[in-house]
Every structure is written in C-alpha cells, then in structure tokens.
Amino acid sequence: MDITRDIKYIGVNDHQIDLFEGQYIVPNGMAYNSYAIIDEKIAVMDSVDARFKDEWLSNIKTALNGREPDYLIVQHMEPDHSANISAFMAAYPNAVMVATAKAFVMLQNFYLESYAHRRIEVKEGDTLSLGKHTLSFVTAPMVHWPEVMVTYDSLDKVLFSADAFGKFGALDVEEDWACEARRYYIGIVGKYGAQVQALLKKADALEINTICPLHGPVLKDNLEYYIGLYNIWSSYETESEGVVIAYTSVYGNTKKAVELLENKLKEAGCKKVAVNDLARCDMAEAVEDAFRYGKIVLATTTYNSDIFPFMKEFINHLTERNFQNKTVGIIENGSWAPTAAKVIKEMLEKSKNITFADTEIKIMSALSEENKQQLEALAKELA
Ligand code: FEO
C-alpha cells in the first residue's frame, strides 16, 4: 500500500491476540504499523510485534524491491513496535538504528543490545536527510513512554505520530474510528493529557497532510476532526452530552435503582444514558464512557466496610488517569452500615473539579418509596 509516492505501508494485522498489553480485549484484532520511506537513502519506521517477524521482513523486502534499508527509525520502544529490531539489524548488517538516548537505554534493557557502532542518537529538532526527504524528530515524552519521539517528513507533509492517533482494531476490519481510538487513548495514554497537549502544540506548528500512527488507519482527510478529538480527550473536556451510570449490584436491588434512574433520566430529556454493569462489561469501555461524558452516577454496595471490588477497581482506573471536570451522583446501598458514599468521596478527593450532585441516595437493602422520589430528583438534577 502506498501512502505517498515514496512512503509505503509495511505493517501487519494481528487477529491472534487475546489481550493487548495484557489487559485490553481487541475483538477486531490489532494493527502494528510500520512504514518505509524510499529515497536515495531508505528509512524503515519502527518494527512490529514479535510474532510477525517473518511477515514484516517479507513486507520490507517486497516494498524495497531489491534495495536495502539504510536506517531503522525507532520512535517507541514498547515491544509491540521494538520486538523485531534485532531481527532487522541482523537481516540488514549495514543499517543504522535511529532513536532517542532514552530509547537506546531501553534497547539495552529489553534486548541486551547497544549497536554502539550502528546507531544515531537524536534529540528534539534533529534532522536526517534521506535525499529529497528530510525527517525532523520531535520528542513526545509520555505519549506513551518517556523515550517516544514522532517524526515529520517535510516533503510529503507526513507526521509519523507513534502511538498518538492510534486505535485498537486490525486494518482489514471496517469500524468507526472514534470508538476504538477513544478506548485506546483513554486506556493507554489517558493519564498523560498534559504531555499530549504539549505534542499537539508542537504539531500545530507543522503543515500536516497525513498522519501515520503505529496503530490504526493512516489518516489523510479531515485531520481537524481527529486532532479536535485529541484536544478534547487530552484536556479532559466533555466530548458528548449525556450521563453515564456505572454500577455493581449483588442481589439486584442496586440494579433496580439504576434502571429506574435510567428511565427517569430519559423522561427528563436526557438523550444519552450509558449504563455499565462493572462486573460484566468491558472495564475499558466503562472507563472510556466516564471520560467521554460530563456527568456520571456511581451506584454500588458497601462491602467489607468498603465498596464492591469492581467499583473500587473502576474508580482506581479513573483517578490514575487524572479523572476531572465531572458532576458525580452517588447511589449507595448497604444493609446495616452503608459506607460506600463516604469511600467514593474519599477516593475522588484528589480529582480536580468534581462537583457532587445535591441529591444523595442511600438504599438500605431494597428501594424505598423515598428512594424512588430521590431517584427522580437526581434525574432532574442531572438532566
Ligand atoms: Fe503501541 Fe505504546 O505501544
């Protein structure tokens, strides 16, 4: 696949994977993107997951049509992109690896290699000429790891964006970009909004026609749409109007409260209510929803003088990703000493700009008449 006249796609699709990065389900697989820039000199951009060594080396061979690559540019050392560096360097003994100083430290730690005489260490603003194409390196620490850089080709106006603008899903499956890009972004980079904002500022100074990420499709048209979403996500602003309800229920009573609240919210004019049963849903999808909408209701039971484990895990996922700028409603259930609301508030204590709804709901086992009225009041308050 040609991205431009001189840039070819040489990545792979993975439909064997069960969990990406050991935790994310990827029903439509995963793509590990790699690109070849063919000029007087040839640069290969990043490698792919270990399991696709032969396919990737074969893709390189086909794309290069008898020529040999001069450079392997490694923008990110996470093994989904770095695992085949050694195979590449063995297959092309004259090639030189290009990466940041931090990446070379990781190279030693992961693969016990240094390529001391076959490396170019680059930093912010350094350039590499391939002939007509000049590549500029832009550091992007913590998008997604500290060693990350992105690369700009000023001739074709292409930004090789590393993990930024990536998504779950292989490239041979048609699916909505935003849904799986958001789940990927919030899950993997969500904590590092400030660093993504810094990268967006640097990118703003470049004229970009095409974004080539390490996962997901190459983006060519309507780039403002993708950059706009990245701006919303990394600044923790509300993307969509609506209310998320995240809940756990042991005997079904908390679930009844959630169903009643969902109906009341819709009656009150709320167009979108996203409901997630945290014991059964994809946790990453629930976390994604929590960041997407501006209002969230947490409904859970007291458990071991604490809160139910799935809710605890969920809130931990939120706070460790800098959850902020939300209105939060709480429904707690407890048969003798409800403490869930107190625990939730304590867990969110350090989160910035959290406003708790005025209506607080305490269920003592099953829904009382008073609880039903409170649910109506909460629905009106949030809608
Ligand atoms: Fe796709 Fe952070 O590796």
**pLDDT tens digits, 255-270:** 999 999 999 999 999 9
Residue 137 CA: distances (Å) to CA of 43, 53, 106, 159: 13, 26, 18, 10
Tell me how far apart the alpha carbons of residues 58 and 52 are, in angstroms, rounded to a whole number.
10
Parse the chain into domains and list their residue ranges: 7-234, 240-382
Query: Which residues fall within 8 angstroms of residue 200, CB to CB, at 6 or more apart?
Result: 227, 230, 231, 234
Tell me how far apart the alpha carbons of residues 325 and 253 are, in angstroms, rounded to a whole number.
30
Give the mean pLDDT of 256-285: 97
Phi, psi of 108 (to 5 degrees): -65, -45
295 lines ligand 1 (CB under 6 A): no
Return the H-helix or E-strand segment holding 189: helix 177-189
167 lines ligand 1 (CB under 6 A): no
Counting from 1 in the atom list of ligand 1, the atom nearest the Cα of 21 is 3
pLDDT for 63 beyond 90: yes
Q: Which CATH number, 3.40.190.80, 1.10.3210.10, 2.40.440.10, 3.40.50.360, labels domain 240-382?
A: 3.40.50.360
Tell me how far apart the alpha carbons of residues 349 and 33 are, in angstroms, rounded to a whole number.
40
Q: Are 146 and 136 in contact (CB under 8 A)?
A: no
Confidence of residue 1 (pLDDT cuts 50, 70, 90): confident
Give 3-state DSSP helix, strand, coil % of the chain, rounded to 5.
Answer: 35, 25, 40
Residue closest by Cα to atom 1 of ligand 1: 163
Token reading at 133: 């194409």
Per-position b or e across 8-27, b if 16+ CB within 10 A of its CB: bbbbbbbeebeebeeebebe
Residue closest by Cα to atom 3 of ligand 1: 78
Residue by residue, what is the 3-state secondary structure of 1-28? CECCCCEEECCEEECCCCEECCCEECCC
76 lines ligand 1 (CB under 6 A): yes
At position 118, the amino acid (one-letter code) is R
Give the rounded distance of the alpha carbon of 377 from its chain centre. 35
Q: Are 327 and 296 in contact (CB under 8 A)?
A: yes
Average pLDDT over all residues of the chain: 97
**pLDDT tens digits, 95-116:** 999 999 999 999 999 999 999 9
Distance 17 CA to ligand 1 centre (A): 15
Tell me how far apart the alpha carbons of residues 227 and 314 are, in angstroms, rounded to a whole number.
28
CATH topology of domain 7-234: Metallo-beta-lactamase; Chain A (3.60.15)
Distance 327 CA to ligand 1 centre (A): 32
**pLDDT tens digits, 331-365:** 999 999 999 999 999 999 999 999 999 999 999 99
Q: Are 356 and 344 in contact (CB under 8 A)?
A: no
Distance 45 CA to ligand 1 centre (A): 14
Residue 44 CA: distances (Å) to CA of 28, 47, 55, 144, 325: 26, 8, 15, 20, 41
Q: What percent of the chain has pLDDT over 90?
A: 100
49 lines ligand 1 (CB under 6 A): no
Confidence of residue 375 (pLDDT cuts 50, 70, 90): very high
Distance 364 CA to ligand 1 centre (A): 46
pLDDT of the residue at 9: 98
Token reading at 359: 């209506």
Tell me how far apart the alpha carbons of residues 11 and 352 are, in angstroms, rounded to a whole number.
40
